[in-house]
Amino acid sequence: MLKFPLRAIDIARIVGGEIEGDGDFEVFDIKESENAGERDLTVWNGKDKINERVGVVISNQKPPVSFSAFIRVENYRLALAKLLELFEPKKREFFGNPIIEEGAEISESAIIGPFSYISRGAKIGEGVVIYPFVFIGEDVEIGENTVIFPFVYIGWGTKIGKNCMIYPGAVIGSEGFGFERTAEGWVRIPQVGKVIVGDNVRIGANVCVDRATFGETVISHGVKIDNLVQIAHNVKIGENTVIAAQTGIAGGTKIGKWNIFAGQVGITEHLKIGDNVIILAGSGVDRDVKDNSVLAGKIPARDRLEFWRSASLFFKLPEIYEKLKEIEKKLK
């Protein structure tokens, strides 16, 4: 794990940048640009306020302030990622024993924390780290170098790929929300499908991914999911899609690749969302979306017929406005 102090020349090597100034200058902390001082390192985006005197600056443009060393990079965010990755704690050993049922297969290089429970038929790959208080159900498979943080539940039959990170409180493979109304009440529809999670997936704290009714709920390679997201049964999410906090995706919806969903997006059931779609915060989606679309908008709930009439009129406003301008010209 990387620790301060660090020389400017060593930082430049880590981020792959070109250095200007004193390569032997040492910094003792990393701070935001407006708070960085004479002995600090900062990564500057070229827009935010920056202190008048900074120790070392990493950026794609030279800052208009005094510095001891400047490290020029093409992409300052990628440079920051390379640097901060080295500050993360390394894998650690835990004290105490987990409970492991007979028939579970666990790699010798895996690290299992105390009070975790590994069910029979589970397969834990090389380099996996499972923190304390994790439940792993029957026939779960976890790929190599995946890290699972405390208080995660992984239901039976779930398959998780390589190099994933699953954060505290996530529930993967809980029962999907399926009921049928009868005169006597709601009848539960058992959910007997699975959840499949690809490689290099990030699942945030308190995310819920429901198992399929039958078949599979799928989170494809490279998907990044923020905290407090609900993914319902039989949803399929394409590669490298990013989903921000408090988004909810209803059952059976199919989502393409490289999409970006901002916070509190709501998507109704059985829709098809294309590739490279951006949906802005608070948007409600109730119909299929074509590739490369950018969506926004949310209106408070009201009587549905009134809402549909208003929504229809709303999208005609530009045309109505142009007609009003023509009428205004004639009246003048």
Residue 92 pLDDT greater than 80, yes or no: no
3-state secondary structure of 30: strand
Q: HEC string of 115-163?
A: CCEECCCCEECCCCEECCCCEECCCCEECCCCEECCCCEECCCCEECCC
Residue that is written with structure tokens 């990622």 in the block? 81
Report d(CA 25, CA 9) in Å as an integer: 8
Please tell me the least confidently modeled range out of 58-72, 90-104, 234-248.
Answer: 90-104
Mean pLDDT of the 215-241 span:
98
Residue 107 pLDDT greater than 80, yes or no: yes
Report d(CA 261, CA 277) in Å as an integer: 8
Residue 156 pLDDT greater than 80, yes or no: yes
Percent of the chain at pLDDT above 90? 89
Residue 27 DSSP class: E
Q: In the prediction, which pLDDT does 312 show?
A: 85
- Residue 239 — left, alpha, or beta (φ > 0 → left; ψ -120 to 50 → alpha)? beta
Report d(CA 167, CA 39) in Å as an integer: 34
Report d(CA 98, CA 100) in Å as an integer: 6
State how far the alpha carbon of 266 is from the alpha carbons of 77, 174, 286, 289, in Å: 29, 20, 9, 13
Model confidence pLDDT, tens digit, residues 168-198: 999 999 999 999 999 999 999 999 999 999 9
Model confidence pLDDT, tens digit, residues 281-305: 999 999 999 999 999 987 666 788 8
Question: What topology does CATH give the domain 99-295?
Answer: UDP N-Acetylglucosamine Acyltransferase; domain 1 (2.160.10)
Helix 76-85 to helix 8-15 angle, to the nearest 10 degrees? 110
User: Phi and psi for 317 in degrees, rounded to 5?
Assistant: -60, -45
Q: In the prediction, which pLDDT does 303 show?
A: 80
Residue 164 pLDDT greater than 90, yes or no: yes
Closest to 179 measured CA to CA, from 125, 99, 233: 233
Query: Cα torsion for 116, 122, 127, 131, to the nearest 10°?
Result: -10
Higher pLDDT pick, 100 / 307? 100
Residue 155 pLDDT greater than 90, yes or no: yes
Token digits of residue 166: 């699953």
**What average pLDDT is seen over the chain?**
95
Q: In the prediction, which pLDDT does 300 show?
A: 65
Model confidence pLDDT, tens digit, residues 2-55: 899 999 999 999 999 999 999 999 999 999 999 999 999 999 999 999 999 999
Mean pLDDT of the 144-159 span:
98
Contacts of 88 (CB under 8 A, 6+ apart): 1
> pTM, whole model, 2 decimals?
0.88
Residue that is written with structure tokens 């969506």 in the block? 295
Mean pLDDT of the 300-324 span:
85
C-beta separation of 148 from 127 below 8 A? no
Q: In the prediction, which pLDDT does 304 show?
A: 81
Q: Which of 194, 233, 236, 257 is catalytic?
A: 233
C-beta separation of 265 from 283 below 8 A? yes
Q: Which residues face 135 on adjacent strands?
A: 117, 153
Residue 95 DSSP class: S
3-state secondary structure of 324: helix
- Residue 46 — left, alpha, or beta (φ > 0 → left; ψ -120 to 50 → alpha)? left
Q: In the prediction, which pLDDT does 301 show?
A: 64
Higher pLDDT pick, 94 / 290? 290
* Catalytic (active site) residue 233: yes
Q: In the prediction, which pLDDT does 78 show?
A: 96
Question: What topology does CATH give the domain 6-85?
Answer: 3.40.1390
Label residue 95 by pLDDT band (50, 70, 90). confident
Closest to 246 measured CA to CA, from 214, 283, 219, 274: 283
